[in-house]
Amino acid sequence: MTKIAVVALGGNALLRGNEIGTIQQQEKNTYDTCINLINLLKKGFEIVITHGNGPQVGNIMLRNEAGYNTYKIPKMPLDICVADSQGGIGYMIERQMKNILSKNKIRKNIVTVVTQVLVDKNDPAFQNPSKPVGPFYLKEEADLLAKSNNFIFKEDARKRGWRRVVPSPDPIDIINKKIIKQLVQKGNIVIACGGGGVPVFFDEEKNLQGTEAVIDKDLASSLLASEINAEDLIILTDVPKVYLNFHKPNQKELDLVTISDAKKYYDAGEFGSGSMGPKVLAAIRFLTNGGKEAVITEATQLGDPNCGTKIISD
């Protein structure tokens, strides 16, 4: 039986917080992150790679505005911007993974699937934008952009600045799940659900339509992992473990956590809604739906058998 791991790359896999996002920076970060995935292949896993797109889709939207204001180039809706980011980021990951496999003398095909993810058009998230996209701004810059473009901004929980927020509806189904499962079961590395997937819904005539939103990539990754019967869900972020009382004097790292304890901590508000919260919720959902193990860690820790925070069933 094929042993599958879904690996969700965090935003820092492509772009560090202190970088402006040149292609050279993003390609180096992608390589440095993906080289750690060799450890999973050596353990016998077939892998599906998912990824975020917050900085990239934010920049695409800024180009939208600049192109319209300067040259009257028609603006594209957010679902098209997400699809654009899936293609560009998928290409970067695909190429860097190919280079890594070649250096390690591993022969595997890699394919990127531009993935549509079904959402409910009546999801209450559309009335409460919460998903950060794009760069950090000073308060004064955010106020100007909000006024001129009708954007909504919120301050980052870690006080790094202000970011634009957009609706983030819950993922219901992965439209491309069957072909993704077929591809990975045949030994291909699949890159899917980029940026949480392109958000789509069924209209009254049962036609798929795009919508102005960005789906959380960890929740989409969890759903995909369940739908393709993955054993493991591995969520890579910029910290080695999950912590209680994060950034407080009594901070405590978590090594092995049962799903019931994870739910208890989550319900108590231990994890930030814009940071660790969706990752823990994604792990809970994955295990509830039959997954074997969820791991939240930093990419360089993957070679360590005791890496990260492991969440398991009771």
User: What SS3 class is residue 167?
Assistant: coil
- Counting Cβ atoms within 10 Å, is residue 39 exposed (0-12), middle (13-18) or buried (19+)? middle
Judge whether 11 counts as a catalytic residue.
Answer: yes
Active site residue 178: no
Residues 6+ apart with CB under 8 A from 308: 240, 241, 295, 296, 297, 298, 301
Active site (annotated) includes residue 131: yes
pLDDT of residue 249: 94
Check whether 20 has a pLDDT greater than 90.
Answer: no
Q: Answer yes or no: 217 catalytic.
A: yes
- pLDDT for residue 107: 96
Q: Is 292 annotated in the active site?
A: no
CA-based nearest residue to 294, from 306, 279, 304, 305: 279
User: Which candidate in 36, 88, 131, 181 is catalytic?
Assistant: 131
In degrees and rounded to multiples of 5, residue 295 shows phi and psi of -125, 135
pLDDT of residue 137: 92
pLDDT for residue 292: 97
Q: Which of 11, 90, 196, 197 is catalytic?
A: 11
For residue 244, what are the β-bridge partners? Answer: 252
Residue matched to tokens 């890159």:
191
- DSSP code, position 97: H
Residue of 58, 279, 291, 308 marked catalytic: 279
Query: What mean pLDDT is predicted for residues 165-169?
Result: 94
pLDDT of 110 over the 90 cut: yes
pLDDT band at 14 (very low <50, low <70, confident <90, very high): confident
285: pLDDT strictly greater than 90: yes
Distances 58 to 206, 211, 262 between C-alpha atoms, Å: 30, 16, 32
Rg for the chain, CA atoms, rounded: 19
**For the chain, which residues make up each domain, given as ranges?**
4-53+61-122+170-312
Residue 192: predicted pLDDT: 98
pLDDT digits (tens, 9 = 90+) for 119-147: 999 999 999 998 888 788 999 999 998 99
Matching CATH number, 4-53+61-122+170-312, of 1.10.10.60, 3.50.50.60, 3.40.190.80, 3.40.1160.10: 3.40.1160.10
Tens of pLDDT, residue by residue over 177-210, are 999 999 999 999 999 999 999 999 999 999 999 9
Q: Name the active-site residue from 217, 241, 291, 310.
A: 217
Quick one: pLDDT at residue 234? 98
